[in-house]
């Protein structure tokens, strides 16, 4: 267990997943009017927030995991 | 379908939600739930309609719970089977709880609905929170903070054999009747639909009634929250109530928090999970207790209150609710820093001993 080692962690995944996460947020706010218009119609449009939530959980979840890893915050083994 | 007026979102509000999301995520990653109760009032204070706030809160909860459950499953803390069994029964509880809410709102209006929520908060948090806190203090005084053994009630539940209903659950390493797990899941869902935090019933029930460890119970609660969250989001999204922008901003902060909270569980003694849960529950209890006179006066069940007094009580209640979250997060961070320090010092101590 090496809780304070920062050097062993690569910065590449942080940048990669971080960029993908920023891209998702950019798209969400770039097209917010259209997206909210669809969502507010309800019914089968329910799939839109579900898909968005799953996409963000995968991409942003991976980014936050890599971020803490890079910061040297690991679980105790 | 009537189009809802989703609020204009500025940078200050977005940062506020991101931060509350982070702290809420940290608490949820650690105790399995408990971070969401502040988000609905936080969104409503920004002008978000109540139902949109509840729906958006729900929409951030299930992806957060998914990420937290996967993380904690990697540490071997999740009983997926228990989570799914309880999660499905919780879904039924959510539907009934939402139905109760609608009925109360129809008959007694917003004040009646708020009073119902606050009284439920106070009764359940006083009973369960008081019990959890008492057990935590007992563990601390006896010095038994490392190991947890099932209590008498859990051993009795585990000893009951009802043919055709027995299922093996790895977290307790024994077979247990689903006639016990189904009502517990149902109660979790009922509470989630009422006060937005089913885990205040779900986690203590898994510990004290089913005999799971605090670590396994808090991690498995994330699976239950995921199942409930997907169902709840579909229900609200079907009626067009989800503001996905709000949900994703909160998720942005909460995913940072939940990863950290989940990592934190590997550094602390199991009793810390109960301590954080007990402290949050009792502080939230105080918050809800303060606003009960406001709703009683709005229903004209007691003498009317002045607008200034109502505003003071509501603001104090909201501040205490935020304090509950901050207290919980503070205990987690301190315990985690101490735990990491101890782990980091171990090789040095071993070297010295050698």
Which pLDDT score is estimated for A21?
97
CB contact under 8 A, A53 and B244: yes
What is each CA distance from B200 to B106, B107, B213, B310, in whole angstroms?
27, 28, 16, 28
Which pLDDT score is estimated for B145?
63
Q: Answer yes or no: is pLDDT of A8 > 90.
A: no
Site of tokens 């902060």: B253
Q: Is B7 exposed, middle or buried (0-12, 13-18, 19+ CB in 10 A)?
A: middle
In a domain, A58, yes or no: yes
Closest chain B residue by Cα to residue A36: B243
**Most confidently predicted of B4-18, B29-43, B272-286:** B272-286
Site of tokens 């903070």: B145
Give me B334's structure tokens. Answer: 């301190």
Residues of chain B neighbouring A40 (CB-CB closer than 8 A): 1, 3-4, 6, 240
Residues of chain A neighbouring B61 (CB-CB closer than 8 A): none
* Mean pLDDT confidence for A4-22: 81
| pLDDT band per the 50, 70, 90 thresholds, residue B1 | very low
Cα of first residue to Cα of last residue in chain B, in angstroms, is 74
Which pLDDT score is estimated for B153?
93
Domain boundaries along the sequence of chain B: 11-346
* Mean pLDDT confidence for B32-51: 78
Number of domain units in chain A? 1
CB contact under 8 A, B240 and A42: yes
In a domain, A76, yes or no: no
Residues of chain A neighbouring B75 (CB-CB closer than 8 A): 75
In a domain, A54, yes or no: yes
Closest chain A residue by Cα to residue B342: A3
Tell me how far apart the 2 most distant CA atoms of chain B are, in Å.
74
Domain range holding A33? 12-70
Q: Answer yes or no: is pLDDT of B354 > 60.
A: yes
Is the four-CA dihedral B43, B45, B47, B53 of positive or negative sign? Answer: positive
In a domain, A19, yes or no: yes
Residue predicted with more confidence, B322 or A9: B322
Q: A47: distance to nearest CA of chain B, Å? A: 8
In a domain, A4, yes or no: no
Q: Does A54 touch chain B (CB under 8 A)?
A: yes
Q: Answer yes or no: is pLDDT of B78 > 90.
A: yes
Which pLDDT score is estimated for A9?
67
In a domain, A18, yes or no: yes
Distance between CA atoms of A52 and B132, rounded to whole angstroms? 37
For residue range A29-71, list pLDDT tens digits in order: 999 999 999 999 989 999 999 999 999 999 999 999 999 999 9
Q: Does A33 touch chain B (CB under 8 A)?
A: no
3 state SS of B253: helix
Q: For B260, which of A3, A49, A73 is closest by C-beta distance?
A: A73
Give me A53's structure tokens. Answer: 């939530």
Q: Does B245 touch chain A (CB under 8 A)?
A: yes
CB contact under 8 A, B266 and A36: no
Residues of chain B neighbouring A34 (CB-CB closer than 8 A): none
- In chain B, pLDDT over 70 holds for what percent of residues? 97
* Mean pLDDT confidence for B97-117: 82
DSSP B322-335: HHHHHHHHHHHHHH
Residue predicted with more confidence, A58 or B232: A58
For residue range B53-68, list pLDDT tens digits in order: 888 988 999 999 999 9
* Mean pLDDT confidence for B164-171: 93
Which pLDDT score is estimated for A7?
47
Q: Does A71 touch chain B (CB under 8 A)?
A: no
Distance between CA atoms of B45 and B67, rounded to whole angstroms? 28
CB contact under 8 A, A28 and B248: yes
3 state SS of B179: helix
Q: A62: distance to nearest CA of chain B, Å? A: 9
E strand intervals along chain B: 166-169, 174-177
CB contact under 8 A, A67 and B256: yes
For residue range B233-253, list pLDDT tens digits in order: 998 899 888 999 999 999 999
CB contact under 8 A, A50 and B4: no
Q: B6 with A38: CB under 8 angstroms?
A: no
B78: CB partners within 8 A, 6+ apart: B69, B72, B216, B219, B220, B222, B223
Residue from B173, B268, B182, B262 nearest B222 by CA: B262
Buried/exposed code over B109-125 (b: 16+ C-beta within 10 A; e: otherwise): eebbbbbbbbbbbbebb
Distance between CA atoms of B194 and B98, rounded to whole angstroms? 7
């Amino acid at each position: 267990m090496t809780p304070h080692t920062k050097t062993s962690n690569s910065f590449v995944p942080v940048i990669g997943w971080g960029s993908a996460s920023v891209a998702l947020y950019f798209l969400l706010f770039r097209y917010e009017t259209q997206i909210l218009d669809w969502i507010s119609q309800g019914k089968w449009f329910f799939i839109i927030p579900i898909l968005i939530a799953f996409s963000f959980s995968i991409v942003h979840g991976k980014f936050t995991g890599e971020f803490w890893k890079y910061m040297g915050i690991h679980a105790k083994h | 379908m009537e189009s809802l007026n989703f609020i204009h979102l500025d940078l200050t509000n977005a940062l506020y939600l991101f931060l509350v999301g982070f702290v809420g995520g940290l608490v949820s990653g650690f105790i399995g739930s408990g971070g969401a109760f502040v988000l609905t009032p936080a969104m409503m204070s920004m002008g978000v309609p109540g139902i949109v706030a509840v729906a958006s809160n729900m929409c951030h909860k299930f992806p957060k719970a998914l990420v937290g459950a996967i993380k904690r499953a990697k540490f071997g803390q999740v009983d997926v089977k228990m989570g799914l069994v309880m999660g499905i029964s919780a879904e039924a509880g959510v539907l009934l709880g939402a139905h109760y809410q609608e009925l109360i709102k129809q008959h007694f209006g917003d004040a009646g609905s708020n009073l119902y929520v606050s009284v439920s908060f106070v009764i359940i948090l006083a009973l369960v929170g008081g019990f959890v806190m008492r057990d935590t203090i007992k563990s601390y005084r006896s010095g038994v903070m490392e190991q947890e053994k099932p209590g008498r009630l859990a051993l009795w539940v585990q000893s009951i054999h009802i043919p055709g209903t027995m299922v093996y659950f790895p977290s307790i390493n024994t077979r247990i009747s689903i006639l016990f797990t189904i009502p517990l899941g149902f109660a979790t869902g009922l509470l989630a639909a009422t006060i937005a935090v089913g885990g205040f019933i779900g986690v203590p029930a898994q510990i004290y009634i089913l005999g799971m460890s605090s670590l396994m119970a808090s991690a498995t609660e994330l699976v239950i929250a995921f199942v409930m969250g997907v169902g709840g989001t579909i229900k609200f999204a079907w009626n067009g109530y989800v503001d996905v922008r709000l949900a994703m901003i909160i998720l942005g902060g909460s995913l940072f928090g939940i990863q950290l909270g989940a990592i934190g569980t590997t550094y602390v003694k199991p009793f810390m999970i109960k301590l954080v849960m007990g402290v949050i529950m009792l502080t939230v209890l105080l918050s809800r207790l303060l606003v009960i006179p406001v709703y009683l006066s709005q229903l004209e069940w007691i003498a009317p209150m002045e607008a200034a007094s109502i505003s003071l009580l509501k603001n104090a209640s909201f501040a205490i609710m935020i304090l509950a979250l901050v207290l919980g997060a503070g205990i987690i961070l301190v315990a985690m820093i101490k735990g990491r320090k101890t782990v980091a010092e171990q090789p040095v101590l071993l070297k010295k001993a050698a």
